[in-house]
Structure 1
Amino acid sequence: MMIEQAACRPYWSVIRDVILTPGRMSHTQLTQPAHDDPRIATRYALDGQSFPPDHPSGAGGLYTTAGDLVSFAHALMRHRLLDAAHTAQVTTGKVPTGFGDRYAYGCSDLTVAGHRIIWHNGGAPGASAWLQIYPDDGYTLAALSNVANAGPGGGGVQPIAQKVQQLITGRQESRW
């Protein structure tokens, strides 16, 4: 509602024009997909319970692809979304989380064995997502799963994120 009032136009048009188009995210949508859309995976809990697509919202309502998440990361880090000063402001941690990283504006900022990681995760019942940007190393991880995160060694994308971090930094943080 705040975005719509500040921009004097619908939320979706702001997201499309300010993020999706310059971010080259052509496979991301905010509209609720049809239940029979073959591009949308059925979401599952670890016990096998399935979940239908949710009605979209600003928090967790985007339907996207791993490729579009990588496109977003590249657009952010290559200053197609914000200039260099604002990109640094948005991605630089400000508030300690108590787990070794610092929360920035919508992402966490972590350094492991000298490797900076800008990251964010998310999920919904039966779904999980993880985005890690290693700006100094030139790596980006975008992982999506139709299984909820269940902690280390469980379902979802968390074990993938942990393994990638270990491969890049040589260390495994217990944080995740």
Structure 2
Amino acid sequence: MKLVLSSILALGILLAQPCSAASSTSEEVVKQLKQYLKELAAKNEFSGSVLLAKGEDVLVLEAYGLASKRFNVPNNVETKFNLASMNKMFTSVAILQLVESGKLSLSDKLSKFIDESWLPKRVSSEIEIKHLLSHSSGLDHYFNKTYRNTSKSNYRTLDDYKSLVVNGPVLFKAGTKSQYSNTGMLVLGVVIEKVSGKDYYSYIRENIYQKAGMENSDSYELDQPIFNLATGYEPSKDNSTGWKNNNFMFVFKGTPDGGGFSTVQDLHKFALALTNNKLLGKELTEQAFTVQSKLRYFDYGYGFTVRGDSDNRIVGHGGAFPGIGSNLDIYLDQGYVVVVLSNYGRGDRDVRNKIRDLLKK
């Protein structure tokens, strides 16, 4: 009886212990974040979905605003939002998977995988795979005048972009400088197709989305009635509604450099799969998360932005376009995952910055 009583007393003492500092911190962050989101939404300054997790434990999962202003359909936590440039993470992981399997090398020349219908050989023979991954290839953007003046529905496969890429400017010799390049990431998709023998979209579905358990992510063709898809909006003084949508502005179908769709919960799954080495082994995952200073892009690894210091590293990617604001922050040392997806242009930024302030050590 004494043993039982002492055990009960010991249990009571344990239960009565105050919460840890970490637990108290998380509770305060959650409280402040929810209040902040309500205030932003009340002023119609945020429309979208937010997830804050500590490892697998979801602390905040909220949605605000309208997915469709035309039909008055609210956003929910399973709404699919356009990611803009966040697709670059998926493309980069796919390339590193092919490196890991021995089918590709980071020092391989681009000319090994594409012909002159894509780029002149004098250009492609100077560019290595690592240059494309780190935005140091010298290639610019394919969003040129021809693209802007052409129906976006003309671009459904990667090959459809050849005419936009082949005569594009080369800004500098590969590996000597850096500049953000959508064309660079686009041609990495072509490399994936060449090496894997599959079209880009199938490879990403099978080797990224399915492995991570991402059931609501893909690059959808926007003339199809995709369920629970958010429309992007920008403020406008040109009409009586005060808004315009981005339906005729962005890509018709997502590409290796951007424009796919996902949810906050799927991106949480992606972050967990990545950091638990379910998509890549530890060595190449670390390379992806390491600033490639030798290649002169000081806040970028291989397909991931890199922030913070040695004991508070944050990796991930953002995306921005009219009617789109998206961001994933993975706190490698603190264990937090933060996803903010918005169907307002740059609508993620205030929320993203608020959470970063709340989670500062």
Q: TM-score, normalised by structure 1?
A: 0.83
1:51 to 243, 246, 271: 246
CA deviation digits over 1:99-151, x for unaligned, max 9? xx6210111111159421112101232111100000111100111000111xx
Other structure's SS at 2:235 match: coil
Aligned to 2:334: 137
> d(CA) in 2 for partners of 1:11 and 1:36?
22
1:32 to 212, 221, 224: 221
- Higher relative contact order (CA closer than 8 Å, sequence separation 6+): 2
1:19 to 190, 203, 208: 208
Shift of the 157–113 alpha-carbon distance from structure 1 to 2, 3 Å rule, reads farther
Deviation at 1:33, TM superposition (A): 4.0
CA RMSD of aligned residues (A): 2.0
Aligned to 1:108: 305
Shift of the 15–36 alpha-carbon distance from structure 1 to 2, 3 Å rule, reads closer
Q: Is the 8 A contact 1:129 1:144 kept in 2?
A: yes
Aligned to 1:69: 267
Matched, 1:42 2:231: yes
Matched, 1:94 2:292: yes
Question: 5+ residue gaps in structure 1?
Answer: 150-155, 171-176
Say which one has the larger Rg: 2
**Higher-helix-fraction structure:** 2
Deviation at 1:36, TM superposition (A): 5.1
2:352 to 147, 158, 161: 161
> d(CA) in 1 for partners of 2:215 and 2:299?
31
Shift of the 31–42 alpha-carbon distance from structure 1 to 2, 3 Å rule, reads closer
Aligned to 1:153: none
Shift of the 113–136 alpha-carbon distance from structure 1 to 2, 3 Å rule, reads closer
Question: 5+ residue gaps in structure 2?
Answer: 1-189, 237-242
Matched, 1:9 2:195: no
Residue type of the partner of 2:198?
R
Q: Is the 8 A contact 1:60 1:124 kept in 2?
A: no
**Higher-strand-fraction structure:** 1
Matched, 1:147 2:344: yes
